[in-house]
Structure 1
Amino acid sequence: VKNDTVGTSIVVTKTGEGQELIEKAVAKNQIQLFPLELAEVIGSQSAPVLFKKRNIVARMKVLAFVGKKIPKNLRENENHLLKPTLLDYPAAIIVYTNRLISKNRMLKKILKYIPFIVLVFYRIIFKQLLVYKKKTD
């Protein structure tokens, strides 16, 4: 999964209908399936899962701190989310900063002048903050 190519996805069916749909697509040669170990699936999805289930709590708190409204569906489902780590908060600030930059014409123009290596470093730092896991004793 680490050396993924364009057009490759992980599929998990949760219902009989979903399983049937996948089996029909395989029978018609519309898709190909390859088995994966659970550890491979978990490893490939850790960043998206942590972003959606753990970092979202930190992002909600950053939004509240800057006076932005938190969507009702997020407030109502907060108890189903993971507790953020201390490093989720700087990651949440990066997400908020990215949103501000993407919505501001002047800031978007400034991005052209930032050396590419700085942007790569910025992305690496963000991902490291996002996937940080507390070491257990």
Structure 2
Amino acid sequence: MGGLSARQAAERFDVGTATAIVWVRRFREGGELVARRQGKPRGLRLDPHADYLLGLLEQPPDLTLAELAATLERERGIRVSLAMVWTFLDRHDMTFKKRPRRRPSSSGRTFRQPDRSGSNPVLTGAS
């Protein structure tokens, strides 16, 4: 670093002293010049249990996210949030519907059709 100590270099480049000391040590020990990856690894706590979870989903009846989380806690001793179960399933291209599709109502419309005449409907009522 042009004759600067690690502490002087940290001040000059506005980084923490400990960071500069580590960088200098890495360079001296192995010639490392590239920054290392930041943050936690992108894996989930459920990744090691992928085969088990995906196997549960192949068997009827379909399980809800809450039931999957409860089964994991009961059978494997792993407490996870519903969001974590959802993220795991999303990463494995699995989708869950809240309820199965149903036939349209035979007794009447279940939603209002838009007016296709081009005019805006006028709402009237007591004021």
- Tell me the TM-score normalised to structure 1 length: 0.25
Structure with bigger RCO (C-alpha 8 Å, 6+ apart) = 1
Which is greater in Rg?
2
- Tell me the TM-score normalised to structure 2 length: 0.27
